[in-house]
Amino acid sequence: MKIEFLGTGGAMTIPRPLCKCKVCTEARDKGLPFSRMGPSIFVHGPNLLIDTPEDIYQQINRSTIERVDGFVFSHWHPDHVMGRRVIESISADWINYPPEHKTVDVYVPEQVGVDFETFLGSADHLDFFRYQGFANIHQLKDGESFVLNETKISPFRLAEDYVYAFLLESENKKVLVAMDELNNWKPDSSMPEVDLAILPAGIFEVHPLSGERLIAEDHPVLKVESTFDETLEVVKELNAKKVMLTHIEEVNGLGFSELEELEKKLKDSGVNVEFAYDTQMINV
């Protein structure tokens, strides 16, 4: 397997539109790797696209992707699903008659399917794709896996039970992908040792280099979002061979260079993690 980080930002990408802060200004001036689009990952081998943020078109066009054989969604939030029309753009044949659509497979975990019926018109949109012949929609029950190009993909719920992570297994390699919402999750004995863990970085409650408080202690977001320190606790418990952190929010106020400095500081303390950046490739 080979992992391509299409977008490593969060709900607020970098640069944030109209924002003049240091991080956004630098990203606007320098581009990659200082800029970050919305959260999405492509897994070469199974040719699986995980989540479709609003800017997925641009992400794919700048990527090395040659074909997409499957889509899967981690949860219903807009920064993970609002670019779903790319399914039509990839599949639809508007030239030939009768059309020769390329029908792709879309996998929807159980609770994601329930939430799609309620939020953002996602279920209706996928039904349209199915009706037009653009996609086969596979509704997955909890505990159900699927196989794509000889890679087994097993969705499972996190502690915030509307969101799923994925265990990918191929050729004796195991990869854990958690796109977002790690709050209150702890790996249990059922989680195997993985070669690569991809996790959301979490909210930086305190600036990791200066010690400055970034989020007020009584801010309600701290009750519903995992902090960076809590993410590091998960990293230690997982004991993965390699850990990549993504879903890096603009509101954290940390630029690419500061994250590089933080990487070094963590490695010096025995915590081996890397902060992913857009277009980065990782071989497993």
Number of Cα atoms under 13 Å in the Cβ half of residue 245: 27
Give the structural domain span for 41.
2-283
Which residues, 6+ apart, have CB-to-CB distance to 211 below 8 Å?
none
For the chain, how many structural domains are there in total? Answer: 1
Structure tokens at 73: 């969604």
Q: E strands along the chain, which residues?
A: 2-7, 40-44, 48-50, 70-72, 104-108, 135-139, 146-148, 151-157, 164-170, 173-177, 196-200, 243-246, 274-275, 281-283
Instruction: For residue 138, list its beta bridge partners.
Output: 107
Looking at residue 122, its amino acid is: S
Tokens 């509704």 belong to residue: 139
Q: What is d(CA 153, CA 101) in angstroms, rounded to the nearest whole number?
A: 25
CA 182 to each of CA 121, 151, 204, 224, 226: distance values in angstroms, whole numbers, following the listed order: 25, 24, 14, 10, 6
Is the pTM higher than 0.75? The answer reads: yes
CA 100 to each of CA 92, 96, 105, 209: distance values in angstroms, whole numbers, following the listed order: 8, 7, 16, 55
Per-residue pLDDT of the chain (284 residues; tens, 9 = 90+): 999 999 999 999 999 999 999 999 999 999 999 999 999 999 999 999 999 999 999 999 999 999 999 999 999 999 999 999 999 999 999 999 999 999 999 999 999 999 999 999 999 999 999 999 999 999 999 999 999 999 999 999 999 999 999 999 998 999 999 999 999 999 988 899 999 999 999 999 999 999 999 899 999 988 889 999 999 999 999 999 999 999 999 988 999 999 999 999 999 999 999 999 999 999 99
Q: What is d(CA 7, CA 18) in angstroms, rounded to the nearest whole number?
A: 20
CATH number, residue 235: 3.60.15.10
Determine the pLDDT at residue 32.
Answer: 97
Q: What is d(CA 187, CA 237) in angstroms, rounded to the nearest whole number?
A: 7
Which residues, 6+ apart, have CB-to-CB distance to 131 below 8 Å?
none
Helix (H) or strand (E) holding 58: helix 56-61
Give the other-Cβ count within 10 Å of 236's Cβ.
11
DSSP structural state of residue 225: S
Percentages helix, strand, coil for the chain (3-state, rounded to 5) are 25, 25, 50
